[in-house]
Structure 1
Amino acid sequence: MEDKAFFELNPARSMIAIGGQDRAEFLQGLISNDTKRIGPAQAVFAALLSPQGKFAYDLLLVEEGARYLVDCESARRADLLKRLKMFKLRSQVTLDDLDSEFVVVNLFGGGALARIGLAAHAGAAKALGGGVVFTDPRLPDLGVHAFLPRATYGATLSDLGFAEAPQGSFKDHRYALGVPEGSHDLLPDKAIPLECGFDELNGVDWQKGCYMGQELTARTKYRGLVRKRLLPVRFEGNPPPIGTDLTLDGKDVGDIRAVDGYRGLALLRLEYLDAILANGIDVDGTRVTASIPNWVKLPAVA
């Protein structure tokens, strides 16, 4: 029997479009991935960083006709468009807000890829229902990302056998896999991409030319400066507030970065990770335990 597959509207994410003949060159100097990889059959994950190499925006991009469809954070969509316009200058580029026309939908569950007819490799994309669907370019285990017309997405997915999931189901699935998303999980102008898995999640192309924040990102990688990692945690008891410092044997070992029910994300110091994994951490009567997802590749700690 085919596994169940679910869909969930993701109001935290929205769509914009970047068009015009200079769109590839324009974005190439801004984002952490290579625009040459973006096509109608291939989506990519990328970050737009600050000049200091810190997280600013996370993006999922796929091509449709003569434009890129871009997934971005809903609450910061206007800020992103404003920032892109600042860099536009004389480039032949168009920037459009598609939120009134399209929605971002997450499709997940064991049967999601089969129902859509997508390969299980990161970013595989195809047209569907007046929009575009693609295997999540960060991690195929996340499922399928869909850009679909707002008026018809529910009918399209129901006809394909998807059941509507309770709100928050995909977030729980994403946290279980330890994948961060948006400013709720990644502090703008503070989070370091390589501490948050952007390399393993296919968000950085190390062969492309310069982009904003590239020098500091490369230095972090090649000089072995990653000393912390954002990892999934579980809470046994009342979840501690975001920002709570974590200590073990009187030592500062990290802090809570995201909370959603009994799951969350914490930025943990690698030098103490073995002890954290073995012993857990007690915070005001709540047990905090961490895990390492199979996609995470940790650097050796001297």
Structure 2
Amino acid sequence: MNNGCLAILPDRGVISVTGEDATPFLHGLVTQNIENLKPGEATYTALLTPQGKVLFDFLVLRHEGGYLLDCARAALSDLTRRLGFYKLRSKVEIADKSEELAVAALWDAPDEAAAPAGGHAFADPRAEGLGRRLIASEDKLRQAAEKQGWALAEPADYEAHRISQGVPEGFKDYESGEVFAHDACIDQLGGIDFHKGCYVGQEVVSRMHHRGTARKRFVAVRGRGLPEPGAAVTAGSTNLGKLTSVAGGRGLALVRIDRAGEALSRGEAIKAGEIPVELVRPDWAAFDFPVPAE
């Protein structure tokens, strides 16, 4: 019996942050409220440049001994180094735990799927459709899959699932320092607390939020025979953005929402490369979304 799909994600890593100052240390750096997390709870967040651009986006899980950061493996060394740079006199220990802990995604499974022995399980805080995250040794994850009746899926299967949910990720859909937090939809995916105190890049984030000046957004796209990531998204002679992830007939694209809306109001077709595409609003998106003229 298939009770869900589990994919172990080799492109994700785990950083541990512990010590008596771990909570104020993280809370003062990232975009989300860390102080409110209880053991077993997780949030999505980001570490920004002073100019408000996203250096790293990651999930933070609080546990009895501190925090685990679920991040892109490509970001591991730089994120660990950046956290160490901000450590100063804080009483915290920062360690890469990726050799002993693996990250897995579980979807199409019961909401209360049990954690692996000696590990952690939590709902992915970005979007309900993504399912759950599990952190444990790879052996324990495989044992849990067998015990719970989860089908072992490939990382590419989860990638297709992520794209189907319209959720962008750093180091896949954008590079470090390339986009603003609003561009990356971190505000839409529960990654920003607009009421917390100061953190790196807060002034820019707050200004864009209150003035409504975010012009770029990630959107889902659908089309037959989508081109490779990097293809231009256009409407006539107008450049709207670029395709960033593709799985079958679905993809993600970073586009100028205002230009896309203007093009659709004129009845212009939108293309990725030479392929006609439809822009699709993800279930979680609350921003003004471009729609075709009636």
Same fold, judged at TM 0.5 (above): yes
| 1:236-275 to 2 correspondences below 5 Å | 236-242=224-230, 244-274=231-261, 275=263
Corresponding residue of 1:290: 279
- Per the alignment, in what secondary structure is the counterpart of residue 91 of structure 1? coil
Q: Distance in 1 between matches of 2:160 and 2:197?
A: 36
SS in 2 for 1:153: helix
Partners of 1:273 and 1:164 in 2: CA distance: 39
Q: Report matched runs for 1:90-239 at 5 Å.
A: 90-109=89-108, 111-114=109-112, 116=113, 128-239=116-227
8 Å CA contact retained: 1:33, 1:44: yes
Distance change >3 Å, CA 282–CA 201, structure 1 → 2: closer
Shift of 1:260: 3.7
**Structure 1 residues 99 and 240: CA distance shift in structure 2, 3 A:** closer
Separation in 1 of the partners of 2:94 and 2:219?
35
- Unmatched 5+ residue regions in structure 2? none
**Distance in 2, Cα, partners of 1:83 & 1:250:** 41
Task: Tell me how far 1:257 sits from its aligned partner.
Answer: 2.5
Cα deviation for residue 220 of structure 1 reads 0.6
Cα deviation, residue 264, structure 1: 2.0
CA distance in 1: counterparts of 2:14 and 2:215, whole angstroms: 34
Q: Distance in 1 between matches of 2:60 and 2:216?
A: 28
- Structure 1 pair 296/238, CA: closer, same or farther in 2 (3 Å)? closer
* Structure 1 CA distance for aligned equivalents of residues 272 and 194 of structure 2: 39
Task: Specify every segment of 5 or more residues in structure 1 that has no aligned partner in the other structure, as ranges.
Answer: 118-126
CA-based RMSD of the aligned residues comes to 2.1
Residue in 1 that maps onto 2:61: 62
* Counterpart secondary structure, 1:82: helix
Shift of 1:53: 0.5
* Aligned partners of 1:280 and 1:290 also within 8 Å: no
- Residues 220/163 of structure 1: CA separation in 2 closer, same or farther (3 Å cut): same
What is the alpha-carbon distance in structure 2 between the residues aligned to residue 261 and residue 207 of structure 1? 40
Determine helix, strand or coil for the equivalent of 2:283.
coil
AA paired with 2:165? L
Quote the Cα distance in structure 2 between the aligned partners of 1:285 and 1:180: 23
CA contact (8 A) 1:39 1:62 kept: no
**CA deviation vs aligned residue, 1:12-59 (integer Å, no higher than 9, x gap):** 111110000001111111100111122223111100111110011111
Q: SS of the residue aligned with 1:187?
A: coil
